[in-house]
Amino acid sequence: MELRGFKNRNVSPGYIFFEGEPKPLTSWEQFKRFLSRAVKGELFVGLWIVLREMIRFDIHTLQYPMEKLKMGPRYRAIHKLLRLFDSGSERCIGCGLCEKICISNCIKMDTKVDEKSRKLVTQYSINFGRCIFCGYCAEVCPELAIVHGSSYEHASEQRASFGLKEDMLTPLDKFKANKQKEFPGFGALSKDADKFVKKTPLAY
């Protein structure tokens, strides 16, 4: 194959050349081109918006940490482990579904079988340094034991930042004072759920 056909650098007929804007020759022409590029209507619109927000004086800034943002009910923040309403025991039954579905492999669970052949959760921890807060663990939980709370402050000085079971589980004093917040999303208890609760002889 010869390169004779590729040596012709002329373009095909009908090609339109674009010369662009002429290059400024004097400093005055350069200054006029600068003004035409820099000073546009959008610049004054942006300046007016900034000035309007400055003179309104209804400041939207929160004085953090004294004031904190109110998060929505479905906000996925630090995890919480809930208790049963009838007995106050842990809702977690140790099925391990949250550990299996975790795509970032940050949940670790250890269980044992007690003398009554019931499974007990001995260790439950979440590595918040690896957690991406996807919410899969809360969606797959059959007992609504693990949910996402509204606390979004999980900064740590160490790379390995863990959330232990004792920190995430609702304390008994807050539970007895009815301060356990229920997840208001899909699968949560209804407002009249208390009248359907029956006391059970076993604290499970």
How is residue 120 written in tokens? 């007990």
Taking only Cα atoms into account, the Rg of the chain, rounded to an integer number of angstroms, comes to 32
Query: Domain map of the chain by residue range?
Result: 27-56, 79-189
pLDDT, tens digit, 9 for 90 and up, residues 91-109: 888 899 999 999 999 999 9
pLDDT, tens digit, 9 for 90 and up, residues 123-157: 888 888 888 988 899 889 888 888 888 888 877 77
pTM above 0.85, yes or no: no
What is the predicted pLDDT for the residue at 30?
92
Domain 79-189 has CATH 3.50.50.60: no
Nearest Cα neighbor of 110 from 97, 125, 100 is 125
What is the predicted pLDDT for the residue at 183?
61
Write the CA distances from 3 to 8, 11, 13, 16, integer angstroms: 10, 17, 21, 26
Asked if pLDDT for residue 75 goes beyond 60, the answer is yes
